[in-house]
Amino acid sequence: MKVLRAKSAGFCWGVERAIDIARDYAHQGRHPVYTDGPLIHNRQMMDVLSKEGIREVGDYQSKADIAVAPVAAGENPVMVVRAHGISPERRTYLKQLGMEFKDATCPDVGIIAGKIRLHAKKGYATIIFGDKNHPETIGLMGYTEGRGYCITTKADIDALPALNRVCMVSQSTMFMHEFAELSAYARTKFAEVLVFDTICQATKDRQTDVVSLAQQGAQAMVVIGGHHSANTVKLASLARLQNLPTFHVETAAELVPEEMKKFSVVGVTAGASTPEFLISEVCAKLEAL
């Protein structure tokens, strides 16, 4: 079987940066290294990190109170904020826990927060194209000064109250074509709309590569990553939009050889939280068929 691997498959630079920050603390002997929620949305990689002394506390949405054991002799704990970022209120809370605080928010997400905060202070309402339950969007809403709205459809825009000045941004992992369509629609509904394309380049590259793999002759697509990973789920959806049989798997063990043998050319991509060892295992299994 011929395997076409997307150039963009695997860790984005923001996720890799967050992992490196946490690992650096652990390798320096700082134990425990806590992360507010899962550092990345990949169960297998979190298992690897836990063995290195990096512990997930809190919850997926960075909302829950955190209970940590009293500091034992010789311990020097640190709290690391994951790449998704957090709200200003969550930041204040974490800093009061009595341990070193390290912000590993992806700089791309930090730029979005900065644009929201700047315009909120100028009196703009904020429209965020994103999943209201995703930790990135939850964190970004904290910068809107109470005038933030999360939307995913034109109907959501229609349901918004009358707004004069609007700052519109996107969660960093959304579909490019949907943001373009919705931001154009928002401009027809409100007097002043400032649109900032905040979909990160890593997301754009992944979406572009999926289309490219289809054009290169892929007869099916394998998308590797957590079943709960937002950007991985979107990649799988985009692959299906290319009219390709699509298999979303977390590991090579989920591949069914009898199914895959129907194809002679298969495209492989992976979400931004998928480690290289999982991608390599999937490619090797496919190439051996």
Parts of the chain belonging to CATH 3.40.1010.20: 2-10+204-287, 108-195
Tell me what pLDDT residue 2 has. Answer: 97
Could you give the CA distance from residue 176 to residue 211 in angstroms, rounded to a whole number? 13
Tell me if the domain spanning 108-195 has CATH number 3.40.1010.20: yes
Could you give the CA distance from residue 76 to residue 273 in angstroms, rounded to a whole number? 28
Own/partner long-range contacts of 96-104 (Cβ < 8 Å, ≥24 apart) = 97/66, 97/68, 99/34, 99/68, 99/71, 100/76, 102/21, 102/25, 102/78, 104/17, 104/18, 104/21, 104/22, 104/39, 104/80
Could you give the CA distance from residue 165 to residue 192 in angstroms, rounded to a whole number? 5
CATH number of 13-105: 3.40.50.11270
Contact 139, 171 (CB under 8 A): no
Maximum Cα interatomic distance, the chain, rounded to a whole number of Å: 62
Residue reference for tokens 């629609």: 185
Could you give the CA distance from residue 36 to residue 58 in angstroms, rounded to a whole number? 5
Contact 104, 81 (CB under 8 A): yes
| Residues identified as active-site | 136
* Coil, helix or strand at residue 98: coil
pLDDT one digit per residue (tens) for the chain, 289 residues: 999 999 999 999 999 999 999 999 999 999 899 999 999 888 899 999 999 999 999 999 999 999 887 777 778 999 999 999 999 999 999 999 989 999 999 999 999 999 999 999 999 999 999 999 999 999 999 999 999 999 999 999 999 999 999 999 999 999 999 999 999 999 999 999 999 999 999 999 999 999 999 999 999 999 999 998 888 999 999 999 999 999 999 999 999 999 999 999 999 999 999 999 999 999 999 999 9
Parts of the chain belonging to CATH 3.40.50.11270: 13-105
CATH fold for domain 2-10+204-287: Cobalt-precorrin-4 Transmethylase; domain 1 (3.40.1010)
Could you give the CA distance from residue 67 to residue 42 in angstroms, rounded to a whole number? 23
